Amino acid sequence: HVIMLGGGNTDAAKSALAAYPQGLQVGGGVNDTNAKDWIDAGASHVIVTSFVFRDGKVDMDRLSNLVSLVGKDRLVLDLSCRRHKNDPTGPYYVVTDRWQKYTDVAVNCETLQMLGGYCDEFLVHGVENEGKRCGILEDLVELLGKDSPISVTYAGGVKSLGDLEKVKLLGNGKVDLTIGSALDCFGGDVSYDEVVKWHTKENRK
């Protein structure tokens, strides 16, 4: 997926979509005024987070409007989440605005079942471990694999090829994995070529 962080990168995002039409999801500032434009520009899906969360809750009117504009099958909801610092073993809560603002929406069975009726996939960054290469949030991956009614892509904390196997097992085969800074092509220790080999082998099973 392609996430536009900040301004001035619209042209770069459109260039990526043109190079790989229908092969990339796009997010970052997506709302009801531009979602259809991104689909028309070649995105397979649009990824939405902050726009559908207002005053700490899901804005069902905004969510329903997005579904009517692009269709459930072209919408990915970003439920990136973290625990409250004063409750390190408590629930994960959806965070917005570059992961700095907590909502009142817990990532649990009820939330996943309800929102799963409005989108094609969830994108979930385990914010506590994002970019740290310290290992995945195993309890979060397990929760997603057990309770999500639709496909999920998890990101956050990958440090080795072994994490791919962990996500496969803990996620009950329903959770995909995004790897960023841990890849050798981005300065990390995980071989991109080995990841591709692992994925190719899994797809042959």
Question: With contact defined as beta carbons under 8 Å apart, do 107 and 143 qualify?
Answer: yes
Condensed to tens digits (0 to 9), the pLDDT of residues 22-36 reads 999 999 999 999 999
Rounded to whole angstroms, the Cα distance separating 180 from 184 reads: 9
Determine the length of the chain: 205
- Mean pLDDT computed over 64-77: 97
Torsion of CA 41, 48, 26, 182, to 10 degrees: 180
Rounded to whole angstroms, the Cα distance separating 24 from 4 reads: 13
- Which pLDDT band, with edges at 50, 70 and 90, does 203 fall under? confident
Q: What angle do CA 51, 147, 174 make, to 5 degrees?
A: 90
Output the CA–CA distances (angstroms, integers) from residue 87 to 92, 109, 123, 127, in the order listed. 10, 19, 23, 15
Condensed to tens digits (0 to 9), the pLDDT of residues 147-164 reads 999 999 999 999 999 999
End-to-end CA distance of the chain: 25
3-class DSSP string for the chain:
CEECCCCCCHHHHHHHHHHCCCCCEEECCCCCCCHHHHHHCCCCEEEECHHHEECCEECHHHHHHHHHHHCHHHEEEECCEECCCCCCCCCCEEEECCCCEEEEEECCHHHHHHHCCCCCEEEEEEHHHCCCCCCCCHHHHHHHHHHCCCEEEEECCCCCCHHHHHHHHHCCCCEEEECCCCEHHHCCCECHHHHHHHHHHHHHC
Which pTM value belongs to this model?
0.93
Residue 20 pLDDT exceeds 90 = yes
- Mean pLDDT computed over 75-99: 94
Rounded to whole angstroms, the Cα distance separating 158 from 167 reads: 10
Read off the amino acid at residue 57.
K
Rounded to whole angstroms, the Cα distance separating 79 from 38 reads: 20
- Which pLDDT band, with edges at 50, 70 and 90, does 6 fall under? confident
